[in-house]
Structure 1
Amino acid sequence: MKINFHKLTKKYGTPLYVYNANKIEDKYKLMKKSFSYIKNFKINYACKANTNISILKFLKKLGSGLDTVSIQEVEIGLKAGFKPKEIIYTPNGVSLEEIKKAIKAGVLINLDNLSLLEQIGNEKTNYPIGIRITPHIMGGGNKKISVGHIDSKFGISYYQLPHIKKIIKNTGLKIEGIHMHTGSDIIDMGVFFQIAERLLNVANLFKTLKYIDFGSGFKVPYKQSDSKTDLDLLAFFLKKKLSIFFEKNSSKKIKLFFEPGKFLMSESGFFLVKVNVIKQTTSTVFACVDSGFNHFIRPMFYDSYHQIDNISNPLGKLRFYTVVGYICESDTFCVNRPINEIREGDILCFRNAGAYCFSMSSHYNSRYKPAEVLLYKKKDFLIRKRENMQDLLNNMFEIEFN
Structure 2
Amino acid sequence: MENDTLLEIAKEFGSPVYVYDADTIINQYERLTNAFSSVNELRIHYAVKALSNISVLKLLKSLGSGLDTVSIQEVQLGLEAGFDPEQIIFTPNGVSFEEIEIAAKLGVQINIDNLSILESFGSKHPDVPVCIRINPHVMAGGNTNISVGHIDSKFGISIHQIPHIVRIVENTQMTINGIHMHTGSDILDVDVFLYASEILFEAAKNFKNLEFIDFGSGFKVPYKDGDIETNVEEFGEKLSERFNTFCEQYGKDLALAFEPGKFLVSEAGQFLASVNVVKQTTSTVFAQIDSGFNHFIRPMLYGSQHGIRNISNPKGRARFYSVVGYICETDTFANNRRISEIREGDILAFSNAGAYCFTMASNYNSRYRPAEILWYNGKAHLIRKRETFDDILKNQIEIELFDNAYAEALI
Q: Which TM-score applies when normalising by structure 1?
A: 0.98
Which residue pairs with 2:73 in the alignment? 72
Q: Secondary structure at the match of 1:242?
A: helix
Determine helix, strand or coil for the equivalent of 1:304. coil
Tell me which moved more, 200-209 or 286-295: 200-209
Separation in structure 2 between the aligned mates of residue 180 and residue 143 of structure 1, nearest angstrom:
17
User: Post-superposition shift, 1:144?
Assistant: 1.1
Letter in 2 for 1:255: A
- 2:191 aligned partner: 190
What secondary structure is seen at the aligned counterpart in 1 of 2:152?
A: coil
Match of 1:322 in 2: 322
| 3-state DSSP of counterpart to 2:381 | strand
- Whose radius of gyration is greater, 1 or 2? 2
Could you say what secondary structure the match of 2:170 adopts? helix
Quote the residue 1:388 is aligned against: 388
Secondary structure of 2:162's aligned partner: helix
The equivalent residue for 2:284 is 284
- What are structure 2's unaligned runs of at least 5 residues? 403-411
**Aligned residue number for residue 144 of structure 2:** 143
Alignment-mate amino acid for residue 248 of structure 1:
Q
Partner Cα separation in structure 2 for residue 138 and residue 167 of structure 1: 27
**1:306-321 equivalences in 2 (<5 Å):** 306-321=306-321
In structure 2, give the amino acid aligned to 1:117: L
Partners of 1:15 and 1:190 lie apart in 2 by 40
Equivalent position of 1:42 in the other structure: 43
Code of the residue aligned with 1:396 in structure 2: it is Q
**Residues 168-188 of structure 1: CA deviation (Å, up to 9, x unaligned):** 122111111100000001112
> What CA distance in whole angstroms lies between the structure 1 residues aligned with 2:286 and 2:52?
33
Which residue matches 1:55? 56
How much has 1:125 moved relative to structure 2? 4.8
Counterpart of 1:36, as a letter, is S
After the TM superposition, which residues 201-220 of structure 1 pair with which residues of structure 2 at under 5 Å, given as runs?
201-220=202-221
Deviation larger for 264-273 or 168-177: 168-177
Q: Deviations over 1:308-344 (max 9, x none)?
A: 0000110111111000000001100000111101000
Alpha-carbon distance in structure 1 between the residues aligned to 2:196 and 2:40: 20
Judge which range, 1-10 or 316-325, deviates more.
1-10
Structure 1 counterpart SS, 2:397: coil
Aligned residue runs from structure 1 range 223-372, under 5 A = 223-250=224-251, 252-372=252-372
- The secondary structure found in structure 2 opposite 1:398 is coil
Provide Cα deviations, 1:335-361, integer angstroms capped at 9, x if missing partner: 011110100000000000000000000
Deviation track 1:102-139 (CA, whole Å, cap 9, x = no partner) reads 01110001100101001101214521110000000000
Report what 2:31 is aligned to: 30
The letter for the 2-side match of 1:368 is Y
Deviation at 1:283, TM superposition (A): 1.3
Residue 368 of structure 1: how far off its partner (Å): 0.2
Q: Which residue of 2 aligns with 1:164?
A: 165
Matched to 1:140, the amino acid is G
Q: Specify the code of the residue in structure 1 equivalent to 2:13.
A: Y
Instruction: Kindly state the Cα deviation for residue 240 of structure 1 after the two structures are TM-superposed.
Output: 2.7
Cα distance in 2 for partners of 1:153, 1:52 equals 28
Q: Is the 8 A contact 2:21 2:375 kept in 1?
A: yes
The residue number in structure 1 matching 2:2 is: 2
Determine helix, strand or coil for the equivalent of 2:46.
strand
Q: What amino acid is aligned across from residue 138 of structure 2 in structure 1? A: I
SS of structure 2 residue aligned to 1:119:
helix
Quote the Cα distance in structure 1 between the aligned partners of 2:289 and 2:233. 40
In structure 2, the residue matched to 1:15 is 16
Which aligned pairs between 1:89-104 and structure 2 lie closer than 5 A?
89-104=90-105
Q: Could you tell me which amino acid in structure 2 is paired with residue 79 of structure 1?
A: E
User: For 1:187 and 1:332, how far apart are their aligned partners in 2?
Assistant: 26
Quote the Cα distance in structure 2 between the aligned partners of 1:248 and 1:369.
52
| Contact preservation (8 Å) 2:70, 2:91 | yes
Aligned to 2:131: 130
Identity %: 59
Amino acid at match of 2:137: H
Once the two structures are overlaid, the 10-residue window that deviates more, 85-94 or 235-244, is 235-244
CA spacing shift, 1:163–1:327, aligned 2, 3 Å: same
Cα shift readout 1:69-97 (whole Å, capped 9, x = no counterpart): 11000000000000000000100001000
One-letter code aligned to 1:392: I
Instruction: Find the aligned partners of 1:371 and 1:280 in 2 and give their Cα distance.
Output: 31
Q: Name the count of aligned residue pairs.
A: 401
Shift of 1:254: 1.8
Partner of 1:378: 378
The amino acid of 1:105's aligned partner reads L
Contact 2:166 2:206 in 1 (8 A): no
Distance 1:9 1:359 in 2: 20
Q: Indicate if the aligned counterparts of 2:318 and 2:339 stay in contact, CA closer than 8 A.
A: yes
